[in-house]
Structure 1
Amino acid sequence: MRQVWCEHAAVLLVSAAVSCTGGKTSTTSDSADTSGPQATSSAAMGTASVSGARIAVAHAGPAGEWQMPAGDYASSRYSELSSITPQNAANLKVAWAFSTGVLRGHEGQPLVVGNTMYVVTPYPNVSYAIDLAQTGQPLKWKFRPDNAQQAIGRACCDVVNRGAAYADGKIFYNLLDGHTIAVDAATGSQLWRTRMGDLSRGETITMAPIVVKGRVIVGSSGGEMGVRGWIAALDAATGKEIWRAYNIGPDKDVKVGPKFKPFYAHDRGANLGVSTWPSDTWKTGGGAVWGWISYDPALNLIYHGTSNPGPWNENQRAGDNKWTAAILARDADTGEMVWAFQVTPHDMWDYDAVNENILVDLPIKGQLRKVLVHFDRNGFAYTIDRATGEVLLAEAFVPMNWSTGIDLATGRPKVVETKKTAQDKNVKDICPSLEGGKNQQPAAFSPQTGLFYVPTNNLCMDFQARAVTYIAGTPFIGGNAPEKGGPGGYRGEFIAWDATTGKKIWGIKEPYPVWGGALATAGGVVFYGTLDGWFKAVDARNGKVLWQFKVGSGVVGNPVTYTGPDGKQYVAIYAGIGGDMGLLIAGDVSANLPYDVRERGTTLPDISRWTSWGGELFVFSL
């Protein structure tokens, strides 16, 4: 695997909405119809690029393949392929399609290694190898693993799977019932299977693993079940567990030792994973790792977020509740914590911090800094020194009212008193909702423009906390949170973000939350999908919609691009609504799900008119 610097010099540094001609503030709008028949979508146009911005770690494998969940260790979701451009994107057509045979939420993305595409479905987590070199794309193999059916009842937010990773002739992925497996990429035979989670306690696994230095890095789900979140490393050859670190509890369990040097004083001290919790509530405190993992080989650090503390009722867990709702940097060899930054201390709104950490080098105040950029569910976009954990910049990227900003001296949010929740108190109109300003849907970064392309939500909620008793293997929530559309009359927006200034450059408003991920390409085109079933190509510079195709079911997965055996560039996307947002399709899912604390018909009005369950892979080319 190449570990080099990917350098693409951009041409101009311009602040948001400033025209390149006269320096006066100007915005324009695109009148093209880019949503479904239900609503209109417009882009507030600006153009900008950030000089000197670069991805910290290059694409894994050949540029024409997609061997890792995010394409590279940096979580950039950027491809050097450039055949599809703003000038020809309108000519995209369906090249072929494949049915997965599963009608649930298709989060994640396929892999492409050589002339083979690998697909992993939601539960029951069937995997397929598709032959790209033959006409009709026949299957090379299909593998259906043993996967306990009880896992369905333990899964919080649909039975999703966020994808697989490839290394050394093996496909690695997680099963909903808490196992991690390795499958022979050539034959589909299972090579090893390791039980990582305790299903009886509500531990499931939905995240996509990554492979670092011969080790498969995986993390737990189950924050709404009162689990104690962990991250672990397995030997890629044998499946043997090498290390495991919990995210809450005593320092020994969390792997806090001499290497631990957090930037902020309030994050220093012994056994903070215990002392910031009342009594032994940390034992059921959440802090799962169901999101994305990044890796910096130069620093030998893996970066991951942790989920909300449990239960939601903040009265039952006074204190900061470390290390939930946090970004953690760990030594890849040992799992030891090197630094930690708690994004939302004492999270009382279900603002997990599990979203991706994109590793880039950016010019900050005239100096090129090694940073990670994190778009958090709490609604703030953070630019953080990835060596130390210092917050360099933090600005709201969606409408919000729970906080007035981030104190850069401490890294802590300034919380609005009237938006604090409490037991048996109904707090109205908190923005963003518990779905966050952005949820699992990953952003992308282009070193050509230096901009980040971010799928966002615009939802608010009423929140009423209530007392709850822990019973192993059952929901441990303690709250009710009906959601509603946020300000402005739209529920989602796809935006371009400048992480050096904390400014939005342009945005495309959508009628529903943008729950699928983004893909940026060297051709200057960015791709994303929508909940009402559109897959779109937009100009990376200004947000102009260049092309769109109705894939039928809503998109909650992430696009990838690859070079086919014929030398052409292809773009692939899953169509299969589901995930947390997809559970709100009226009539398709039982209304008595124990985890669903929202009211149907208000969060996603009329969504069932435009989409229903699906399970398709679509592939497009010029």
Structure 2
Amino acid sequence: MHYRITASRRPALAAGRPVAAALLLALAACSPANVDWAEHGNGPEEQRFSRLDDINAESVDRLGLDWFADLDTDRGQEATPIAVGGKLYVSTAWSMVKAFDGRTGKLLWAYDPKVPREWAVNACCDVVNRGVAVSKGRVFVGTLDGRLVALDAATGRPVWSTLTIDPAKPYTITGAPRVVKGKVIIGNGGAEYGVRGYVSAYDADTGKLAWRFYTVPGDPSKPFEMPILARAARTWAGTWWKMGGGGTVWDSMAYDPTLDLLYIGTGNGSPWNRRIRSAGKGDNLFLSSIIALRPETGAYVWHYQVTPGDEWDFTATQPIMLADLTFDGKPRKVLMQAPKNGFFYVLDRATGKLLSAKAFAPVTWASGIDLKTGRPIENPAARYSETGKPFLQMPGPLGAHSWYPMSFNPGTGLVYLPTQTFPFLYAPDGEYRHNRRGWNLGAQMGTPALPDAHGALAAIRSTIKGALVAWDPVRQREVWRVDYGEAFNGGTLATAGDLVFQGNASGRFVAYKADDGRRMWSFDAQSGIMAAPVTYAVAGKQYIAVMAGYGGVGGMGPGALTNPDRSKRNISRLLVFSLEGKAHLPPAPPVAALPSPAPPVDLSANADLESGRRLYERSCGTCHGSAAISAGIAPDLRYSQMLAKEAFHAVVLDGALRDAGMAGFAGTLSAAEVENVRAYLVARAKLALALRRATHAASPQGHAP
């Protein structure tokens, strides 16, 4: 039976849990033949729930691939598809946009904003894009190099384009814009590099700037852009404005049309280390905060700071979700978030008052949240900038939950939350200096030097895990979970068919029963999935769509440690499923074998390997992997043919491969420092070769740790 909006079916949910009024209005406006997924979270509340139920717990075993589209970039794919009027709109890596016929998969148009490839040096976590917004015949996309572009939805031709950043500073855009009351809302990223965060609103018709809200105060010797920043400045110390401050709005937003409030989540401090950033003092508003604004003017209404004085990269940019729940026998309009720091927060969304907060994953930096003050009860040892000592804690900067979207089923009352356990050793960087290019953290990366024995590295990997957790936000407890052997699994979709869909890092696309977590169906996607699925209907037929393609932080930096054998392929595709779908993917090509390391011996006699290791982790490891262990997204430099001195310096200093995405570091690294990095990589290459020979364990992929 095809799903229809009828009076008898509209609010039939369990336990008397109400459906948001805006969702019902949107559903009622759908035609019987077509049901759209018209907004990032399938509504301004960002619940990622669909009332479509043809694909359900009884029929899902008949689900098959209906059509697929190969994409023209094999970097990470994180976008949520948008379905409007039978068409599917997706963004891909490098901020490209494509439109497909949602029923046949025919490519209708493609748009390439031609982002300069060397701008990738400013992207902390791959050249990804999380989606577009569609409104009134236009498609809006933010580009990696900071533009906001409006496209004609019928043709893909640009209507207007505006630069939202100072191009002299290392800003990026990877998040999806939202359209609220005729304004396109967009933030940016770059806090690891030393920028000041803000969110902007542009007129959807003209592209003209309507308002801008800065999330941290600027130079206090100059007038503040908004009165609220004077209050925020009292929570800072030192000369923070010279270092940017951070607080970038790089992902989450939600909107309550009844309260007329726009909610944004802000990011980490810049640098991470509060002693460097703010003389070791203050809460540093509005870092790591949820902020409520008026969407027409950008006026401040309230805020709740999730992690005061953040120095762990504990962003509050993770998905924000709105719902109507019952607390203490009373209906409450709530806001829910599960940010990086490991606690699940429920706030009154009218006032920002904290209602409850409980840990949803292992947490060692704090013992809990004080409900009277709303502040975390910190473990003093976690303040590495104050103690001056390393501290191994959970979660780390990759978070107990990051950008991967969660979903909410009003019928079960459960939030379906991708979680992960990824410990990290925080330590102050005693050699910190501000770099024009590369990360500016004030904390060491890759600390200590990773062990090289197979067993030791395997032990580290064994601590890195992921799970899909069904969380009851009223009782603040886990109801069920599905454990994975690795982190960085995809976002979720909840449907009225009593199903939860999720892709995972191992390359499976899976449907679980919403009430108890039983695995109902699975598909081999041939590639890791990070993005969240959506569902829509065309001509009365329900479809499920998801972007496949691995990368992002899971395939770069310390995340690469989760890929021990390079078998986590990265084949970027849009996959679309339906009942009785009969399409098949072609056989996956074999993973290209890595060459045997043959490191050159022309090293400077005075090269400092330990200095090279620290410089590598700060300037190179975020793309090429901690300890030079790559997951295959960026080249594994232990196997590079460019390790000879002349070639290496030409690439790293002079930018000989800038058009391929490798910017030069002249002005940031000296020739002597580049030589130290090269010496470290040669040592890593020699070790990889020695391990291969000693263990006779060369795989078909040619991997050695």
Provide TM-score, normalisation by structure 2: 0.74
Question: Which residue of structure 1 aligns with residue 85 of structure 2?
Answer: 114
Aligned match of 1:139 in 87, 107, 113?
107
Determine which of 190, 193, 202 is the counterpart of 2:161.
193
- Aligned counterpart, 1:480: 444
Tell me the CA shift for residue 458 of structure 1: 1.2
Does 1:229 pair with 2:186?
no
2:420·2:464 contact (CA, 8 Å) conserved in 1?
A: no
* Paired residue secondary structure (2:272): coil
Counterpart for residue 11 of structure 1: 14
Give the SS at the match of 1:371: strand
After TM superposition, give the deviation of residue 56 of structure 1 in Å: 5.9
Once the two structures are TM-superposed, the CA of residue 211 in structure 1 deviates from its matched residue by 0.3
> In the TM superposition, what is the alpha-carbon distance from 1:193 to its structure 2 partner?
0.2
Counterpart check, 1:393 vs 2:356: yes
Indicate whether 1:612 and 2:585 are aligned: no
- Partners of 1:436 and 1:121 lie apart in 2 by 24
222-231 or 86-95, larger mean C-alpha shift: 86-95
Deviation at 1:540, TM superposition (A): 0.5
Supply the distance in 2 between the matched residues of 1:561 and 1:208 (Cα, whole angstroms): 18
Matched position secondary structure for 2:179: strand
Q: Greater helix percent: which structure? A: 2
Q: Aligned residue for 1:126? A: 96
Among residues 47, 51, 68, which one is paired with 1:76 in the alignment?
47
Equivalent of 2:419, from 456, 459, 463? 456
| Change beyond 3 A, Cα 1:600–1:357 | closer
Shift of residue 615, structure 1, vs aligned partner = 1.0
Tell me: CA distance 1:195–1:511, structure 2 relative to 1, closer, same or farther (3 Å): same
Q: How far apart are residue 312 of structure 1 and its match?
A: 1.4
Amino acid corresponding to residue 65 of structure 2 in structure 1: V
CA contact (8 A) 1:423 1:466 kept: no
Q: Which runs of 5+ in 2 are unaligned?
A: 448-456, 580-705
Kept in 2, the 8 Å contact 1:234–1:240? The answer is: yes
Amino acid at match of 1:83: D
Indicate the SS of the match to 1:608. coil
Helix, strand or coil at the partner of 1:224: coil
Give the drift of 1:490.
6.2
Matches within 5 A, 1:33-112: 51-55=16-20, 57-58=22-23, 60=26, 62=30, 64-112=35-83
Q: Where does residue 528 of structure 1 map in the other structure?
A: 502
> Which of residues 220, 231, 240 is equivalent to 2:188?
220
User: Which residue identity is paired with 1:128?
Assistant: K
**Equivalent of residue 266 in structure 2, options 300, 303, 306:** 306
User: Match of 2:486?
Assistant: 512
1:348 positional shift: 1.6
8 Å CA contact retained: 1:151, 1:199: no
User: 1:179 deviation in Å?
Assistant: 0.1
Q: Is the 8 A contact 1:8 1:448 kept in 2?
A: no
Q: Which amino acid aligns with 2:504?
A: T
Give the superposition deviation at 1:425.
3.8
Instruction: Look up the SS of the partner of 1:581 in the other structure.
Output: helix
- RMSD across aligned C-alpha pairs, in angstroms? 2.3
Give the secondary-structure state (helix, strand or coil) at the position aligned to 1:495. strand
Partner of 2:119: 151
Counterpart position of 1:568: 541
Of the three residues 351, 364, 368, the one matched with 2:327 is 364
Q: CA deviation at 1:373?
A: 0.6
Q: CA deviation at 1:282?
A: 3.5
Q: Are 1:374 and 2:345 counterparts?
A: no
* 2:75 alignment partner, SS class: coil
SS across alignment from 2:192 = helix
- Identify, as 1 or 2, the structure richer in strand: 1
Q: Which has the higher contact order (CA 8 A, sep 6+)?
A: 1
Among 319, 343, 346, which residue is 1:383 paired with? Answer: 346
Aligned to 2:470: 496
Q: 1:491 to 1:53 in 2, by over 3 A?
A: farther
Aligned to 1:271: 230
Q: Tell me how far 1:489 sits from its aligned partner.
A: 5.9
Whether contact under 8 Å (1:482, 1:599) holds in the other structure is: no
Contact kept in structure 2, 1:461 and 1:481, CA below 8 Å: no
Provide Cα deviations, 1:265-320, integer angstroms capped at 9, x if missing partner: xxxxx723322222331451100001121001111110011000011122212221
TM-score (norm 1): 0.84
In structure 2, the CA distance between the partners of 1:350 and 1:456, relative to structure 1 (3 Å rule), is same
Task: Compare CA radii of gyration and give the structure with the larger one.
Answer: 2
Q: 1:361 to 1:141 in 2, by over 3 A?
A: same
Report if the CA contact (8 A) 2:421-2:463 is conserved. Answer: no
CA-to-aligned-CA distance 1:421-458 (integer Å, 9 cap, x gap): 12794434301111111000011011111111101111
Q: Which amino acid aligns with 1:193?
A: S
For the pair 1:176 / 2:144, whether they are aligned, the reply is: yes
Q: CA deviation at 1:253?
A: 4.7
Deviations 1:346-395 (A, max 9, x none): 11211111011111010001000011011111000001000111000000
**Segment of structure 1 superposing worse, 327-336 or 106-115:** 106-115
Counterpart Cα distance in 1 of 2:413 and 2:574: 30
Change (3 A) 1:254 1:383: farther
Deviation at 1:71, TM superposition (A): 1.1
Structure 2 partner of 1:544: 518
Tell me by how many angstroms 1:402 deviates: 1.0
**1:167 aligns with one of 111, 117, 135:** 135
1:494-523 CA-to-partner distances (Å, cap 9, x unmatched) read: 011111111111000011114321101111
Matched ranges for 1:281-292 at <5 A: 281-283=240-242, 284-292=244-252
Q: 3-state SS of the aligned residue for 2:576?
A: strand
**Cα distance in 2 between the residues matched to 1:217 and 1:381:** 26
**Distance in 2, Cα, partners of 1:78 & 1:208:** 18
CA contact (8 A) 1:576 1:616 kept: yes
Q: Tell me how far 1:474 sits from its aligned partner.
A: 4.2
**Which shifted more, 271-280 or 350-359?**
271-280
Distance (Å, rounded) in 2 between the aligned partners of 1:179 and 1:363? 42
Identity of aligned residues (%): 36
CA distance in 2, matches of 1:415, 1:581: 28
Residue 419 (structure 1) shift? 2.3
Please tell me whether the aligned partners of residues 302 and 332 of structure 1 are also in contact (alpha carbons under 8 angstroms).
yes
What number of residue pairs does the alignment pair up? 548
In the aligned structure 2, how far is the partner of 1:397 from the partner of 1:83? Answer: 32
Larger deviation: 420-429 or 210-219? 420-429
Structure 2 residue aligned with 1:17: none
